[in-house]
Structure 1
Amino acid sequence: MPPSLDGLVLAPVADQAPGQVGTRTRFTYHERDGVIWADYAGGDVVHGHLVGTREGDRLDFRYVQLKHDGTTSSGHCVSTVVELPDGRVRLDETWEWESQAGSGTSVVEQVTEHDD
């Protein structure tokens, strides 16, 4: 099994559409007994939260977020956990909004102290 996500901080490697998660967003993950959750903020997101499950290298979760303009949105994401050659963790994500139109893919990678 790929490494635990518990306590890891991850960030997108590229900006998404305007007003969404971007490279300044930081996700702090937690994991226990097949359950995952994270809080996130940064960029256009004031506060976001995700919760779901992990089976092997597959994450399946729902997310909700509040943006600086006062709007909220929610969606569903399935991610694959990948261990990078340098030991960091990457998530390859496929997501879809449930509260609005839109879907896509994204990549988030573990942030090291000197990256932040």
Structure 2
Amino acid sequence: MTRSLDGLTFAPVSDQAPGQVGTRTRFAYHEEDGGIWAEYAGGDVVRGHLVGTREADRLDFRYVQLRTDGTTASGHCVSTVVELADGRLRLEETWEWESGPGSGTSVVEQVTEHAP
């Protein structure tokens, strides 16, 4: 599957720990010539950006964000693009903070509402 992420909006399916993305966070994705990037905000995140590459259904990117408490954080994520039965896309993510300790997995799914 090689459906473009360009112009799609994604949201987490569940909340993470405080200071991280959550169900109120929205990611506005862009894609061009193997490059991906997104802006995100919502919940505990005032503003975030991610940038990286896509090879087939694998995304590899770095992210940085400003939190509502005034702190910043950055990390690395590898995601797999999966098509859901209803035609929407899901990103199954494995991430790790680079600005501090911690790692985990998360899932974001395509939503039809507008990005922040």
User: By the TM > 0.5 criterion, same fold?
Assistant: yes
Residues 51-108 of structure 1, C-alpha deviations (whole Å, 9 max, x = no match): 0000000000000000011100000000000011111000000000000100000000
Unaligned runs of 5+ in 2: none
1:95 is aligned to 95
Query: In the alignment, does 2:105 pair up with 1:105?
Result: yes
Runs ≥4 residues deviating over 4 A: none
Query: In the alignment, does 2:40 pair up with 1:40?
Result: yes
Displacement, 1:2?
Answer: 3.1
Q: Is the 8 A contact 1:51 1:63 kept in 2?
A: yes
2:61 is aligned to 61
1:18 is aligned to 18
Unaligned runs of 5+ in 1: none
The separation in 2 between residues aligned to 1:100 and 1:29, in whole angstroms, is: 25
CA RMSD after TM alignment: 1.1
Q: Is the 8 A contact 1:2 1:83 kept in 2?
A: no
Equivalent residue pairs, number = 114
What amino acid does structure 2 have at the position aligned with 1:5?
Answer: L
What amino acid does structure 1 have at the position aligned with 2:39?
Answer: D
1:6 is aligned to 6
Displacement, 1:112?
Answer: 1.7
The separation in 2 between residues aligned to 1:79 and 1:2, in whole angstroms, is: 14
TM-score (norm 2): 0.96
